[in-house]
Chain A
């Protein structure tokens, strides 16, 4: 069974731009969660999608948004990028219950 895949793996953007990251969960998994990981703050929860609906949301500004498609693939978007948005963005999938998460390799975003 293929694992969680994320594209792209690396991304360089400049301040003010916007970016879209993609996550394909494990086949059969209906829930996708997004996290931001930085050296200073660790892993911070962004939001979770289940069956195309946002089920949980962390404490991030509205510049961070996401969506989920009918095939469970998910995208997250960050608009008006700031230097502080530089981070490793991770997505994780589960079957839908609040149980074990399986993470993708992440997208390393650098904002210049």
Chain B
């Protein structure tokens, strides 16, 4: 059983479309991170959110941490082929031993 569930698992969209990826849990996290991973490479950190209700923007990417710090979302505006990759959320909690728990992943393909 995964502590963090992501949806959707797979997403294939046309260039220019918008999309949202969700990361949900029944556990509370001290911080939550989003990563993008390309084939054959390690995950690359995109953002860290630590405050309930926090919203962070990174160009066309908007990240939100839920008020209760149990869930998060990633919204991409006007997706581009360069956004293609595996998106992973990861939560960290001192109650759960401080290790990072990774979500199930969302594989995004943006078609030119």
**How many residues of B are counted as interface, with CB atoms below 8 angstroms from the partner's CB atoms?**
25
CA distance A30 to B88 in the complex (A): 24
Main secondary structure of the interface of A (DSSP, over half): strand
CA distance A4 to B100 in the complex (A): 18
CA distance A104 to B42 in the complex (A): 5
| Contacting pair A103 B101 (CB below 8 A) | no
Closest chain A CB from B42 CB (angstroms): 3
Closest chain B CB from A102 CB (angstroms): 7
Q: Which residues of the other chain, A, contact B18 by a CB distance below 8 angstroms?
A: none
| Contacting pair A98 B98 (CB below 8 A) | yes
Within 8 A of A (CB), among B69-90: 88, 90
Would you mind naming 30 contact pairs between A and B with Cβ atoms under 8 Å apart? A33-B99, A35-B102, A42-B2, A42-B88, A42-B102, A42-B103, A42-B104, A42-B105, A45-B99, A45-B102, A55-B98, A58-B99, A90-B42, A92-B42, A98-B30, A98-B98, A99-B48, A100-B33, A100-B45, A101-B33, A101-B45, A101-B100, A102-B45, A103-B35, A103-B43, A103-B44, A104-B42, A106-B40, A106-B42, A108-B40
